[in-house]
Amino acid sequence: MFTRAIVRPPAANFAHGLTAAELGAPDLQLALRQHASYCATLDACGLALITLPADPDFPDATFVEDTAIVSDDFAVLTRPGAPARAGEVARIEPALANCFERIHAIAAPGTLDGGDVCQTGSHFFIGLSERTNAAGARQLADLLTREGCTSTIVDIRAVPGILHLKSGITSLGDNRIVAIDALVEHEALAGYEVIRIARGEDYAANLLRLNDRVVIAAGFPRLHERLHVLGYDIVALDMSEFRKMDGALTCLSLRF
């Protein structure tokens, strides 16, 4: 059960952030409304929000997930693979210090983005990507072992079209994983019930299980129907402006 979440609204220069999406510039006012709807959904799912101020020094700072890994009892400060985002970690640390007694950190030469880490229970999948290197993945795996958790490293560097591991897989709980075609048969997912994302709906693979509800991006009817048949209470949110900046649902919060 999640009880809290850290969020940060997009700043006025949100459109200056990093993106390879080629979907055009985001509409800031629409992005702010979408972020407000996202926060209202977290609240409705029972999460108390810790809302940080918009940070114009870092246009990507609304994507707080990349700056830390959080679990029930500990947090790990990441070391983002994009140099332009490195300063975001120091900006998130005070909020984490108010919530966690044990805080670890990834050190050079390791790089690690939070979007490359998918937690399911006490097990963590760690993605090797353009942003997370082998040294960072190994450091996190070692930290998780010390915390009594297990992990598996999943190399996604040859998987086209995804920036982070959680662009391709996310956890539904209930021993279920949602996955795109390129990862649905990956050996790391053996032992899980894998829900295949339909072709053309890859963006929808990034979803959020928030206590008794599942939050998905709006506009993906086949996934919506599949989850409905499985009995989930579904909330669909418009994520158009964050998609333009390579962002998705999990990116916008740190949940614990």
| Average pLDDT, integer, range 237-250 | 98
Query: What pLDDT, on the 0 to 100 scale, is given for residue 113?
Result: 98
User: Can you spell out the DSSP letters for the chain?
Assistant: ---EEEE-PPPTTGGGS-----S----HHHHHHHHHHHHHHHHHTTPEEEEPPP-TT-TTTT-GGGGEEE-SSEEEE-B-SSGGGTTHHHHHHHHHHTT-SEEEE--TT--B-GGGEEEETTEEEEEE-SSS-HHHHHHHHHHHHHTT-EEEEEE-TTSTT-SSGGGTEEEEETTEEEE-TTTTT-GGGTTSEEEEPPTT-GGGG--EEETTEEEEESS-HHHHHHHHHTT-EEEEE--HHHHTTT--TGGG-EE-
In the chain the domains, ranked by start, together with CATH numbers, are 4-255 (3.75.10.10)
Q: What pLDDT was estimated at residue 131?
A: 98
Catalytic residue flag (residue 123): no
104: annotated active-site residue:
no
pLDDT for 9-32, tens place per residue? 999 999 999 999 999 999 999 999
Exactly one of 164, 186, 224, 228 is catalytic; name it: 164
What percent of the chain stands above pLDDT 90? Answer: 100
